[in-house]
């Protein structure tokens, strides 16, 4: 590598791309001091140059044509920050085939097409890194792959979506219903105009697929993860949770058992004394248990220009060190190392404690019918709360917390319970974190 200069091309100058350019220009000396390398932002490809970005790009080749940098033999590292599936997939594949290292924050693409891309990277002796795809600025992928490399991962519990964490926090702190908290998140810029992927749990599932693939050394297909979003949660549930000394968080869960791994994304009641319960607003956190290290927690901003760019630049610096190797010297491809074929345990076979909220008629025998069905399915009640009836229809909310029970048994019991005409169909079932 001549003059220890690393030539970088960025595709996409949106929020994240702008942050990466800003670091490469403003922190150039710091990066050089720390790595001994000269990072040269050579080319940026962006379709819309009309936007004001507060960046001095006078020394950068600015183009609307991504192929200009993909075909440039001097570019060593390509940063993809356009997001989505296409043309991101085609641009990344072309960069890898042209033997350029690639850095991306594109979680949806890595979680679904990651295998294809790792294969292309390996065939071309280059690497594909994606630290920013999970947890924004939190170095969780390096944390798992490097800092905790000596450990088997027993469990990973992540608050991996800032939008839903913000909504749930506001529902709790300001006693808001879901729709009002979502509106507030949109007004403050923490939720997209179309928040579907976030509130449905899909975004957290993309991130869980990536973390679990690394943790298990086995490709975890994103569409095999059991996912529930947060749209069914009301402020009444938040208040009930608080009355039990708990709060509700959207948790992404990886748990290793002898016969496979349990992977789920769903709203979960967490005891207020747990560190994860204190992770508020748009922040993210990942609670990791390794067999040697024990419990660890990674915490920080999961999105935004500066945190996401910080993670991307850490990958750029990492890859640049490989560029110092001489032709023919083999570096260790670290995109992913898949050595196992792990079994995914069906969600029906998992045991949880449950939170059940029904709306039932306030009349004799209702509770004993419900508890009777639960008992038939070997489900034991741990606590119960009923609010007093105020409405004319004599229906009241009842909340039950159960001891551990099989998901399958709970599904069967719920099916029977909601068939009673004294129970409204709009029940809610949540799991309790243990
Ligand atoms: N939509 C994501 C979130 C952004 O709310 O966390 C970062 O991936």
Instruction: Provide the residue-wise pLDDT of the chain in tens; the chain has 434 residues.
Output: 557 899 999 999 999 999 999 999 999 999 999 999 999 999 999 999 999 989 999 999 999 999 999 999 999 999 999 999 999 999 999 999 999 999 999 999 999 999 999 999 989 989 999 999 999 999 999 999 999 999 999 999 999 999 999 999 999 999 999 999 999 999 998 998 999 999 999 999 999 999 999 999 999 989 999 999 999 999 999 999 999 999 999 999 999 999 999 999 999 999 999 999 999 999 999 999 999 999 999 999 999 999 999 999 999 999 998 887 766 665 666 656 677 789 999 999 999 999 999 999 999 999 999 999 999 999 999 999 988 877 677 899 999 999 999 999 999 999 999 999 999 999 999 999 98
Positions of CATH 3.30.360.10 in the chain = 140-301
Whole-number pLDDT of residue 323: 81
CATH code for 350-432? 3.30.70.260
Whole-number pLDDT of residue 364: 93
Q: Pocket of ligand 1, candidates 14, 136, 165: which has the most ligand atoms within 8 Å of its Cβ, to mutate?
A: 136
Distance 299 CA to ligand 1 centre (A): 15
Q: Pocket of ligand 1, candidates 14, 107, 163, 229: which has the most ligand atoms within 8 Å of its Cβ, to mutate?
A: 163
Please state, as a whole number, how many other Cβ atoms lie within 10 Å of the Cβ of residue 62.
12
Query: Which of the residues are catalytic?
Result: 207
Residue of minimum CA distance from atom 8 in ligand 1: 303
Distance 159 CA to ligand 1 centre (A): 11
The ligand 1 atom nearest the CA atom of 191:
5
* Best CATH choice for the domain 140-301 from the list 3.40.50.720, 3.20.20.140, 3.30.360.10, 3.30.9.10: 3.30.360.10
The ligand 1 atom nearest the CA atom of 197:
1
Taking the model in full, what pTM does it have?
0.95
> 2-136+305-326 adopts what CATH topology?
Rossmann fold (3.40.50)
pLDDT tens for 120-163 read 998 998 999 999 999 999 999 999 999 999 999 999 999 999 99
Positions of CATH 3.30.70.260 in the chain = 350-432
Concatenated DSSP letters of 206-237? HHHHHHHHHHHTS---GGGSEE--STT--HHH
Distance separating alpha carbons of residues 56 and 194, to the nearest angstrom: 32
Residue of minimum CA distance from atom 4 in ligand 1: 303
- Decide: 248 and 241 in contact? Cβ < 8 Å: yes
| Pocket lining for ligand 1, CB < 6 angstroms | 136, 161-163, 198, 203, 302-303
Distance separating alpha carbons of residues 184 and 312, to the nearest angstrom: 29
Residue partners of 205: CB distance under 8 A and separation at least 6: 111, 222, 225, 227, 252, 265
Distance separating alpha carbons of residues 259 and 194, to the nearest angstrom: 39
pLDDT tens for 207-241 read 999 999 999 999 998 999 999 999 999 999 999 99
Distance 380 CA to ligand 1 centre (A): 38
Distance 142 CA to ligand 1 centre (A): 19
Distance separating alpha carbons of residues 150 and 397, to the nearest angstrom: 49
Positions of CATH 3.40.50.720 in the chain = 2-136+305-326
The ligand 1 atom nearest the CA atom of 166:
5
Distance 272 CA to ligand 1 centre (A): 24
Q: Pocket of ligand 1, candidates 166, 303, 304, 312: which has the most ligand atoms within 8 Å of its Cβ, to mutate?
A: 303
The ligand 1 atom nearest the CA atom of 192:
1
């Amino acid at each position: 590598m001549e003059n220890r200069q690393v030539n970088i091309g960025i595709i996409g100058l949106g929020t994240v791309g702008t942050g990466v350019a800003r670091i490469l220009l403003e922190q150039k000396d710091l990066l050089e001091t720390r790595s001994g390398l000269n990072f040269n932002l050579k080319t940026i490809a962006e379709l819309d140059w009309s936007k004001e970005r507060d960046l001095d790009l006078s020394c950068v080749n600015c183009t609307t044509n991504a192929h200009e940098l993909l075909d440039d033999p001097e570019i060593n590292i390509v940063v993809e920050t356009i997001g989505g599936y296409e043309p991101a997939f085609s641009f990344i594949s072309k960069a890898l085939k042209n033997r350029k290292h690639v850095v991306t924050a594109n979680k949806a693409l890595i979680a679904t097409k990651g295998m294809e891309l790792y294969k292309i990277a390996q065939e071309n002796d280059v690497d594909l890194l994606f630290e920013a795809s999970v947890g924004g600025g939190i170095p969780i992928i390096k944390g798992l792959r490097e800092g905790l490399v000596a450990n088997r991962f027993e469990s990973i519990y992540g608050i991996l979506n800032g939008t839903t964490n913000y909504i749930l926090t506001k529902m709790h702190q300001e006693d808001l219903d879901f729709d009002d908290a979502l509106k507030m998140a949109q007004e403050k810029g923490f939720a997209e105009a179309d928040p579907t992927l976030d509130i449905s749990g899909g975004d957290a599932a993309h991130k869980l697929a990536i973390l679990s693939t690394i943790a298990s050394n086995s490709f975890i297909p994103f569409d095999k993860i059991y996912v529930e979003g947060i749209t069914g949660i009301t402020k009444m549930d938040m208040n009930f949770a608080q009355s039990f000394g708990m709060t509700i968080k959207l948790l992404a869960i990886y748990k290793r058992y002898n016969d496979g791994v349990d992977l789920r994304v769903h709203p979960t009641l967490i005891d207020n004394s747990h560190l994860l319960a204190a992770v508020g607003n748009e922040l993210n956190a990942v609670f990791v248990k390794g067999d040697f290290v024990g419990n660890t927690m990674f915490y920080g901003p999961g999105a935004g220009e500066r945190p996401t760019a910080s993670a991307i630049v850490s990958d750029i610096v990492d890859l640049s060190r490989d560029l110092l190797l001489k032709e023919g010297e083999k570096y260790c491809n670290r995109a992913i190392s898949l050595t196992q074929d792990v079994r995914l345990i069906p969600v029906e076979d998992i045991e949880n404690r449950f939170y059940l909220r029904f709306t039932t008629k306030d009349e004799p025998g209702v509770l004993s019918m419900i508890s009777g069905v639960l008992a038939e399915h070997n489900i034991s009640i741990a606590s119960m709360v009923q609010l007093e009836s105020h409405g004319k229809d004599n229906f009241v909310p009842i909340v039950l917390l159960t001891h551990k029970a099989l998901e399958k048994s709970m599904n069967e019991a719920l099916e029977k319970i909601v068939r009673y005409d004294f129970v409204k169909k709009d029940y809610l079932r949540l799991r309790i974190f243990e």
